[in-house]
């Protein structure tokens, strides 16, 4: 009965989304104010029902109810409970139900707390959110029912993909979905503002927390996903330009541009059309990512769907949502005024320049991701990887980083470069020093050299806005900007150092033999079998000595899962302040009971952990900025309520 209750809740939520949409349309057409009063409460109840449906899915997975097809295909009675629960979204149908649930809860929260926009614009925003939700409800109910029953009931389930049986799965997808759905809220705000022609600072202030929240979760999701792929897949890399990785990066790039554009519109009443357009583009990239992951056109550990009908359904949704929004923008763009103007030497100009660079990077990534799919449709298989993405994206990223060193120091509206000459000279001096050091340490590696030169310059420049201020009086949004920009410098340094100084060795050792990798000496001490809750493994004991110091023991494994049957390489990492030793156990290289050799793949990766530390700092900066903005909005709301109350009393 639990599955039937979840399905019933899903149908009721879909019906309420339809009611929310219809009430919003009627209210905007002036066909009755009672319908307008329905929009907010219906949105709240819809979110509660979506949450109930997802709770039912979690429960059938926790109980390993094998009469539910989704459980039988993606779970197993012998799995640890954490992976039973995580299996609820480690598949196509469950991940889409998670998407719909977060979208419904986000819409509920908007309906409950948002009071800054005119009610007509708010109704139009909730109408847009209901329209988006309807498509996904239809997709779940007619193409991807997560509560479908099996008859007869199988004696045991097939289990979850072993690559996804990792704590990272419990964190990575939900954070990404929170980011995607936050962008759907921004999309709905943009559509609502276009419908009512209310594009101004109030619109930007209402949308900004959602964009910032989505950006924080996307940052965390991408950072966690990068580290998960790094240690779980055993390839030794942190970013592969996999199409599904790109599918999460593209919304982040668009959200970063949208976030800065929102700030300009909220603070200076400029970039109105640009902000609305980016709101549409950001969610468009989320939809493109959804299509890539769930259409069956990609082969990846992330890609769940293999049914072309589902891909066609999602493609139709993408065409309806994005095509409709762009059509609305085309008709209403003339009514969106330009807003306040600003000089070339101003903070607004720096933000516009970097938004153009972010958009250019987005275009490069989008083109490189879709091009192989287009050529494959015509019978040609083409691989697009780092040789394309790295230099082409650097064309836009490097100028963006250069402007980032000076942009936050400029004043709004109009400024003179002479006023910031000293900070510019400091940043330039640091960059030139870094360039000289990088050339001497990593000659011939162009992109890592550029990164090693720019990282310290961006780090120093990110702290310069604090110069001359009393730190206790610095507001949270400024702290957020400083920490986020500093995090970019930290991550850039980690990326550049990993690219410039990584040492790799592929060796075959007998038990008792040693080999060097970078400053480490690695000795294979023994190989022995071990067992886990749903796997067995061969485990290597490696004694790793750094620069002649006492050895440290590490244990890479070659695991064999039985539900489903699959072999995986479980890497083992040793982390120091200056980098990581990355070890992977391979197959037996030759026979012999005592004299056999075992393949080992070893990397020494200097400063690689700075990549994920930088990502965490970027997200922390966003969180501080969000808290500061929310506190400021609350103070403004309380002040306006006090003024309204005084006027009401005076009127009496």
Residues sharing a CB contact under 8 Å with residue 615, sequence separation 6 or more, in sequence order: 219, 220, 222, 223, 226, 487, 491
CB 504 within 8 A of CB 520: no
Instruction: Determine the 3-state secondary structure of 565 from DSSP.
Output: strand
pLDDT greater than 90 at residue 434: yes
The average confidence (pLDDT) of the chain is: 88
Concatenated DSSP letters of 418-452: GGGHHHHHHHHHHHHHHHHHHHHHSTT-HHHHHHH
Residues 35-52, mean pLDDT to the nearest whole number: 92
The Cα–Cα gap between 117 and 625 comes to 21
Residues 537-566, mean pLDDT to the nearest whole number: 91
pLDDT greater than 70 at residue 650: no
Residues 199-210, mean pLDDT to the nearest whole number: 90
The Cα–Cα gap between 210 and 181 comes to 9
Which one is predicted more confidently, 171 or 442?
442
Q: Which two tokens stand for residue 423?
A: 């900070």
Note the pLDDT tens digit of each residue in 72-128: 988 888 778 888 888 888 888 898 899 899 999 999 999 998 888 888 899 999 999
pLDDT of residue 294: 67
Residues 269-275, mean pLDDT to the nearest whole number: 88
Which one is predicted more confidently, 108 or 326?
108
In terms of CATH architecture, what is 166-341? Up-down Bundle (1.20)
pLDDT category at 318 given cuts 50, 70, 90 is confident
pLDDT greater than 70 at residue 303: no
Note the pLDDT tens digit of each residue in 491-528: 999 999 999 999 999 999 999 999 999 999 999 999 99
Note the pLDDT tens digit of each residue in 341-383: 888 889 999 999 999 999 999 999 999 998 888 887 787 888 8
pLDDT greater than 90 at residue 401: yes
Eight-state DSSP code of residue 270: B
- Residue 595 sits at the vertex; the CA angle it makes with 550 and 548, to the nearest 5 degrees, is 15
Note the pLDDT tens digit of each residue in 463-473: 999 988 888 88
Note the pLDDT tens digit of each residue in 218-251: 999 999 989 988 988 888 889 989 888 898 999 9
The Cα–Cα gap between 74 and 305 comes to 13
Of 299-313, 421-435, 535-549, the range with the lowest mean pLDDT is 299-313
Which one is predicted more confidently, 38 or 334?
38
Which one is predicted more confidently, 340 or 643?
340
pLDDT greater than 50 at residue 403: yes
Residues 428-432, mean pLDDT to the nearest whole number: 94
pLDDT greater than 90 at residue 565: no
pLDDT category at 301 given cuts 50, 70, 90 is very low
In terms of CATH architecture, what is 503-606? Sandwich (2.60)
**Residue recorded with tokens 């997808």:** 173
pLDDT greater than 50 at residue 561: yes
Say how many Å lie between the first and final Cα of the chain, rounded.
58
pLDDT of residue 271: 87
Peptide bond into 398 cis (omega under 30): no
Residues 585-600, mean pLDDT to the nearest whole number: 77
Q: Provide the percentage of residues in the chain whose pLDDT is more than 90.
A: 56
- For residue 385, CA distances in Å to 187, 241, 365 come to 31, 6, 10
pLDDT category at 593 given cuts 50, 70, 90 is very low
Q: Provide the percentage of residues in the chain whose pLDDT is more than 70.
A: 93
pLDDT of residue 579: 95
Note the pLDDT tens digit of each residue in 474-497: 999 999 999 999 999 999 999 999
pLDDT category at 459 given cuts 50, 70, 90 is very high
pLDDT category at 169 given cuts 50, 70, 90 is low
Note the pLDDT tens digit of each residue in 244-270: 889 899 999 999 999 999 989 988 888
pLDDT of residue 373: 81
Residues 622-629, mean pLDDT to the nearest whole number: 93
pLDDT of residue 641: 61
Which one is predicted more confidently, 588 or 217?
217
pLDDT of residue 276: 92
Write out the H or E segment, with its range, that includes residue 279. Answer: helix 272-294
């Amino acid at each position: 009965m639990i599955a039937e209750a979840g399905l019933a809740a899903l149908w009721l939520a879909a019906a309420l989304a339809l009611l929310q949409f219809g009430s919003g349309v009627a209210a905007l057409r002036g066909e009755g104010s009672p319908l307008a009063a329905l929009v907010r409460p219906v949105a709240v109840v819809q979110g509660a029902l979506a949450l109930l449906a997802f709770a039912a899915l979690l429960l059938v997975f926790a109980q390993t109810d094998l009469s539910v097809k989704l459980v039988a295909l993606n779970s197993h009675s012998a799995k640890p409970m954490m992976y039973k629960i995580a299996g609820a979204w480690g598949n196509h149908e469950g991940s889409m139900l998670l998407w719909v649930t977060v979208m419904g809860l986000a819409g509920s929260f908007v309906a409950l707390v948002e009071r800054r926009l005119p009610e007509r614009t708010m109704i139009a925003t909730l109408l847009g959110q209901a329209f988006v939700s309807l498509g996904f409800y239809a997709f779940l109910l007619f193409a991807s029912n997560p509560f479908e029953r099996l008859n007869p009931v199988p004696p045991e389930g097939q289990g979850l993909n072993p690559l996804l049986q990792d704590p990272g799965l419990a964190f990575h997808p939900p954070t990404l979905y929170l980011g995607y759905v936050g962008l759907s809220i921004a999309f709905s705000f943009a559509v609502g503002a276009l419908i009512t022609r209310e594009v101004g600072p109030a619109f930007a202030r209402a949308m900004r927390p959602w964009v910032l929240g989505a950006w924080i979760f996307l940052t965390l999701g991408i950072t966690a996903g990068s580290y998960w792929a790094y240690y779980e897949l055993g390839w030794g890399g942190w970013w592969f330009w996999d199409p599904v990785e790109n599918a999460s990066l593209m919304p982040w790039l668009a959200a970063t541009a949208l976030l800065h554009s929102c700030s300009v519109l909220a603070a200076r009443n400029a970039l109105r059309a640009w902000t609305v357009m980016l709101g549409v583009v950001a969610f468009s990239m989320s939809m493109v990512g959804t299509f890539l992951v769930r259409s069956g056109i990609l082969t990846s550990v992330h890609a769940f769907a293999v049914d072309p009908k589902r891909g066609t359904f999602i493609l139709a949704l993408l065409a309806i949502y994005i095509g409709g929004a762009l059509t609305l923008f085309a008709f209403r763009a003339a009514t969106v005024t330009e807003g306040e103007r600003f000089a070339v030497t101003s903070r607004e100009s720096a933000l516009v320049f970097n938004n153009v660079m972010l958009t250019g990077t987005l275009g490069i990534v989008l083109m490189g991701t879709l091009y192989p799919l287009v050529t494959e449709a015509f019978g040609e298989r083409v691989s697009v990887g780092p040789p394309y993405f790295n230099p082409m994206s650097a064309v836009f990223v490097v100028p963006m980083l250069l402007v980032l060193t000076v942009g936050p120091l400029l004043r709004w509206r109009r400024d003179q470069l002479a006023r910031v000459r000293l900070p510019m000279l400091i940043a330039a001096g640091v960059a030139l020093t870094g360039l000289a050091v990088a050339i001497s340490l990593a000659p011939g590696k162009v992109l890592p050299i550029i990164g090693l030169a720019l990282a310290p310059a961006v780090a120093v420049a990110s702290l310069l806005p604090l110069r001359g201020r009393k730190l206790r009086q610095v507001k949270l949004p400024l702290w957020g900007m400083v920490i986020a920009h500093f995090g970019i410098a930290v991550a850039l340094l980690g990326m550049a150092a990993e690219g410039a100084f990584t040492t790799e060795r592929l060796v075959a050792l007998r038990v008792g033999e040693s080999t060097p990798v970078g400053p480490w000496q690695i000795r294979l001490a023994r190989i022995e079998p071990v067992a886990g809750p749903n796997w067995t493994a061969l485990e290597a004991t490696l004694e790793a000595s750094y620069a002649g110091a006492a050895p440290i023991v590490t244990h890479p494994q070659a695991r064999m899962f039985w539900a489903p049957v699959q072999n995986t390489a479980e890497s083992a990492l040793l982390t120091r302040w200056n980098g990581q030793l990355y070890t992977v156990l391979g197959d037996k290289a030759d026979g012999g009971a005592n004299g056999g050799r075992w393949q080992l793949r070893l990397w020494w990766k200097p400063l690689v952990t700075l990549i994920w530390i930088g990502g965490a700092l970027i997200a922390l900066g966003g969180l501080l900025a969000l808290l500061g903005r929310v506190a400021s909005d609350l103070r403004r709301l309380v002040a306006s309520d006090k003024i309204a109350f005084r006027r009401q009393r005076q009127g009496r």
